[in-house]
Each structure stands twice: as structure tokens, then as C-alpha cells.
Chains A and B, each alone.
Chain A
């Protein structure tokens, strides 16, 4: 019977998508509304979250081939990618450094909890990479995963409005910015906005994910120094 939760996920999401589509506000996001619906349901009723989690494992499982399928929009944009290769690499490299350094320096003003800082480090990359990075550097994988999801939702909700506000209208630039800052959840949003945005977002997701994994030990070492001073 718990598999009714699987159907419930589909119905709630599709209903939210249908009802919210005429509303232009970034808060009218079907993903956010569905998540809040279920969080509310399990917080305020005696229903048990664990049943929901078990029933929805197929969706978690489907995420993996869906990530593999991101190669399709990437392939459709391969000419553009080749043409802009230098600009893409430069933007992503700087993006990773900015994402990590701004987050850590702001967090350092508020806390000197080393484990928390190390868990915040991979906040802009897709959760499997973030959890692996957190494990490797001595952070808390579960905390890293939670932060990653929150950051992804934040980017998916406000990302495109903010980019438009800052006159960043180039679809490729929008895509890269979403992928760098809000990983797979941002990429899912970018796919809805347009193919070009989606392709460049998945590109940034891959490049930034790999770069973060490579650079994490360096930043972890810096955190260790900063917290011991």
C-alpha cells in the first residue's frame, strides 16, 4: 500500500505544474510546491516519512539514467560548445573558485565549526559528488547532501529572475550560471526554460562537479588553517 506514495508524488507534481503554469512568480515552482506539500504532510499528520521514502526509491533510481541522458542536449549543442570552449572553461573554473570561496568566507564570519565548513564546501555540485567530497575532506556527507538540495532549490527558484535582473540574457550564459551554482536541480529548471540553457547547464554541472572534486582538498586544507588560527 505504501506504493500509493509513488503515485501521490506524480499526481501532486503534475497537478502543481498544471495549476501553477499561468502564474509567473518564481515561487510558483511545481518542484518547490510539491516538496513543501509532502514536508507539511509528514510534519503535521501521523503519516510516516519513511514509508514515503521507501515507496519513492524508483524515482531516486531513475535520476541516474536521467543524468546519463543529459548527454543528449549536450550532443545537440556540440557545435556551440566547440566554438565557445575557451569561454566555457574560463567561466566554469572561476565559477567553482567563486562558489567555494564566497561560501566559506561568509560562513567563517559566522562559525568556526570545521565540520560544518567542510560540509558547506561542495554545496554547488551534484549531491553524489558533494557527499563523496565531504567524506574525503572530513565533512559530514548527510549535511552536505542537505545543503546541496537546499542550494539547488534556491538556484532553481530565483536563478532565472536574478539573471534577467542583471541583464544576463544570453541563453548559454544563463545555462552555465545555473549549472555552476545549482547543479542538477538548476539544470532541470534550465531544461524547462530551453534546450540551449539545458545543454549549457548540464555542461557546467559536469565541469564544475569534476573541478570541485579536484580542488576540494586544497580548500579543505585552507579551512583547516583558517579554523586553527
Chain B
């Protein structure tokens, strides 16, 4: 990771360009296929494929990639504040939403974690 200190503007631009390229490829697939799956998920899968096939070396995407992943939680702040828009919808159904979400989230967390811990090698 020490190398990160010497990231140049060119390396930043290259990594940002590659991420955008894969995002737009993903959006293209979404547009053509009409599947209810966002373009960014297709982009993720394509980049994963590209990295595995050695079409894209890891260090090409690392500068912008690690920056975005470092701050991904920050990007969710406006998403969460956006709950304000739905305050009316949420306040009418709050009991059902909270009870079913809490029970279901707890059940999913425990069962997936337990299953995987039990069956992984």
C-alpha cells in the first residue's frame, strides 16, 4: 500500500476511466436486456470477470477504486436523509414495516451466518 503515496494524476484518471467504462458497459447490458437488475451490478460482474481474465490488471483500477470503497459509507448519507421524502408513507405503515423487517433481518442474519459457518470447508 506504500506505493499509493506516489499515485499520479494519470493513474487516477486511468482508474476512474476504467470504472466508468465498466459502469456504462453494465448500463448497456441493462438497457438491452431489460432485466430488473441495475447496470452497476452488471458492471461489477464484468469488472470481476475482466480482473480474473487478466484483461484489467488490479493496479489499473486500484487508485480510484480504493478511494471510492473507503468512502462508500459517506455516499449513503444522502440516501438515508432521503427517508424524509417518505415520512408520510412510513408513518402510516410503521408498525408492520418495523416488526416484519426486524424479525426478518434477524432471522436472515443468523441463519445465513450459521449455515455458512456450518457448511464451509
A interface with B by C-beta (< 8 Å): 9-10, 12-14, 30-32, 34-35, 38-39, 42-43, 49, 52-53, 56, 59-60, 62-76, 78, 83-84, 86-88, 90-92, 94-95, 98-99, 102-104, 106-107, 110-111, 113, 116, 120, 123-124, 126-129, 132-133, 135-136, 140, 142-143, 145-147, 149-155, 159, 162-163, 166, 168-170, 172-174, 176-178, 180-182, 184-185, 187-189, 191-192, 198, 202, 204, 206, 209-210, 213
Contact = CB atoms under 8 A, between A and B. Distances in A.
B36 A71 contact: no
11 contacts: A52-B81, A59-B77, A64-B23, A67-B43, A68-B23, A95-B111, A98-B112, A123-B104, A127-B79, A132-B38, A191-B73
B40 A68 contact: yes
B9 interface: no
Contacts of A69: 19, 47, 61, 64-66, 68-69
Contacts, number: 311
A182 to B, nearest CB: 7
Given A172-B116, A176-B116, A133 B81 contact: no
Contact of B103 (A72, A106, A132): A106
A87 B120 contact: yes
B98 to A, nearest CB: 8
Majority secondary structure, A binding face: helix
B112 A188 contact: no
A111 B96 contact: yes
Those 9 A-B pairs whose CB atoms lie nearest each other, nearest first: A132-B36, A35-B80, A103-B104, A168-B113, A128-B38, A177-B113, A146-B86, A56-B78, A71-B47
B51 interface: yes
A38 B77 contact: yes
A74 B41 CA distance: 13
A71 to B, nearest CB: 4
Given A95-B112, A153-B80, A110 B40 contact: no
Given A52-B81, A62-B75, A142-B89, 9 more contacts: A49-B84, A67-B43, A68-B26, A71-B51, A123-B101, A142-B85, A172-B120, A177-B109, A191-B69
B37 A210 contact: yes
A187 B41 CA distance: 14
Contacts of A155: 105, 109
Contacts of A65: 16, 19-20, 23, 40, 64, 68
Given A67-B41, A106-B104, A123-B104, A163 B78 contact: no
A218 to B, nearest CB: 14
